Every structure is written in C-alpha cells, then in structure tokens.
Amino acid sequence: MASRAAMPVLLLLLVSASPLRALVPVRNVDGPVAGPAPAAASAQDSGFGDLDTSAPQGIAPEEIVKRLGIRETEFRKARDEYTFKQLVKTDTISEDTGRPDGEYQQLSQIDFTPEGRRVERVLFAPANTIERVIMTEADFDEIRNRLPFILTTEDLPKYDVTYLGKQKVDELDTYVFQAGPKTLEKGKRYFQGKVWVDQQDFQIVLINGKTVPQDTRKGHEDLQPPFTTYYEQVDGKYWFPTYTKAEGNLHFAAQQGALSQDVHIRTIVKYTDYKRYIFKAKSRVLDANGNVIEEKDSGKP
C-alpha cells in the first residue's frame, strides 16, 4: 500500500437523502449516469417523458428563473429552521469483484442547542475502512455546507442559466435548465449540470451534474464523481433534498513512486426526519425596581 503522502486525496461531493417517488437516473452532461436505478433504464420506461424544447406557455424563461430564485431564497431560510437526520455512506468499489472494499459511514442528528445554535450530533459511526483514498476535513465541509444545491436570488448572477425545455418527471411537470458558473473565482466551487424545476412551485425537484472546478494537478488531485440529487415535498410547501447518489471512476496520476490508479467511488447521502424547530423564547416579570421576579420559557422544540 502506498504511503499516506502518496495516496490520492478525495474531496467527496455529496448532498441529501431518500428517493423522490419513482424518480430514476438521468444522464449527466458529460456522459456518466448517476442515480439509484439501473443505468440501462431508458428515459421513457423510467419515469422521464420526452424533452419538449418548445418555449414555455404564458411565461418567459427569464421570469421562471426569477421566480425560482425567489422561491429558493425562501426555502434556504426555511430549511435553516429544520432538524433532520443525515446518513452518509461512502464506498470504494473493487474492480475485480464489483463489491465494496472499504467503507465510511456516519449517521448524524442535525439539531439546535438551547441557545438556537446549529449543531451536529453523531449517532452512529463505525470504523472507517477506506484505504485507497483519504477523506479530509474538506470532504466533511462539502457534506455539511456546500450541498445541497440551492439557487437563490443572490446566487443567480454567478450562473449562466439556459432554458432547455419542458419534461414530465414521474407525475411532475417540470422546466429543464442547464446551469453553470459564469466565471470561476479562486477558492470557490460551483454546480454545473441540469436542473429540473417544478412548473407549479418554481422550486428545484431534481439536479444532475458535478462540482467545478476540479483540480487535476498531479499529486494534488481534487476529484468528484457526477451526482444526482432528488427532492421531496415534506412540509406541503417546500421541496427538500432527500437523497443524493454520487458515483464514478476517479483517475489519480502516478506520484512519489506510486502507480497511477482509478478508484471507483460510490457515495449515498440521505436526509430524513425533517422537523421544524420552534425556538424557545424567555419571558420575564419585573418588579417596580426592575428586578426579575419570574422567568419562564414560551414555545417548544
């Protein structure tokens, strides 16, 4: 086994949790397929209708994008008020057997402290048996902070968003867009791929793509497989990410005496048990001199 310094470093690109109805994989803009169903399934027999490239009726694509930004902004604020469970499972897959030969797994509760601060509590974390790649702090930063992809009004100026058409996805009528960064700022990462937007709610219900840029410098590889994220309406108002699958073969160049290698990575992230948190507020009763004579909580988690 190569020394730690010579091993490839994998920055995992992940998002969230349990499949949306019968949604199935879609083909990534660069070719690979990501998703929980067999890649052999065609669009027609897997829940995807034909892509209708005609203009949307009664609304301009620019107006759809504007409404999308507004709704996604509302959703981002709302999601920050929810607790949920997050299950992350990453496997390296043996090319000889097609089975996992190393695994990282962690189940966490995303919650709030009594003071209202966001906190992650680990509920279950067996020993990490992955040996062919190294998981770094940047991997976990991706899991916690960089995904799921939410395209808010603030984010829109950073992206080129191009209308592709209308498509039936399971029972949903959606608008389909291609999205990618206008420019790449140093130290920042972006989504590049396809976005499906519900025609009624103007919210993202499915994405398929990858994170850019990717660092391919020899010995400094920062690589991520393509991924698909599914969303589900869990509160009757907003579409929450519930399931992400990222999978692909990542190529790491030879370095420091180690041979080059291709590592097959599969990552699943699930977000479950979304619950809105009602923050407690303290009320105080003061005497005539301003001294506290009674203090109690109102509201409940």
Contacts of 54 (CB under 8 A, 6+ apart): 165, 166
d(CA 143, CA 149): 11
Predicted pLDDT of residue 288: 64
Half-sphere exposure of 133 (CA within 13 A, CB side): 32
Q: Note the pLDDT tens digit of each residue in 14-52.
A: 333 333 332 333 333 333 333 333 232 233 335 789 999
Residues 196-224 have a mean pLDDT of 87
Let me know if 127 is exposed, middle or buried by CB neighbors in 10 A (0-12, 13-18, 19+). Answer: exposed
CA 161 to each of CA 57, 166, 181, 192, 237: distance values in angstroms, whole numbers, following the listed order: 19, 15, 9, 10, 24
Q: In terms of Cα–Cα distance, which of 267, 234, 238 is closest to 147?
A: 267
Smallest CA-to-CA distance from 241 within 275, 211, 272 is with 272
Q: What is the DSSP letter of 63?
A: H
Q: How far apart are CA 22 and CA 32, in angstroms?
A: 20
Tell me the torsion sign for CA atoms 50, 55, 57, 61. positive
Phi, psi of 76 (to 5 degrees): -55, -45
pLDDT recorded at residue 291:
66
* Dist. CA 283–CA 286, nearest whole Å: 10
Considering the entire predicted model, what is its pTM? 0.78
Look at residue 69 in the predicted model and tell me its pLDDT. Answer: 98
> Contacts for 290-298 with beta carbons within 8 Å, 24 or more apart?
none
pLDDT digits (tens, 9 = 90+) for 63-107: 999 999 999 999 999 998 999 999 999 999 999 999 999 999 999
Lowest-confidence pick of 5-14, 63-72, 144-153, 157-166: 5-14
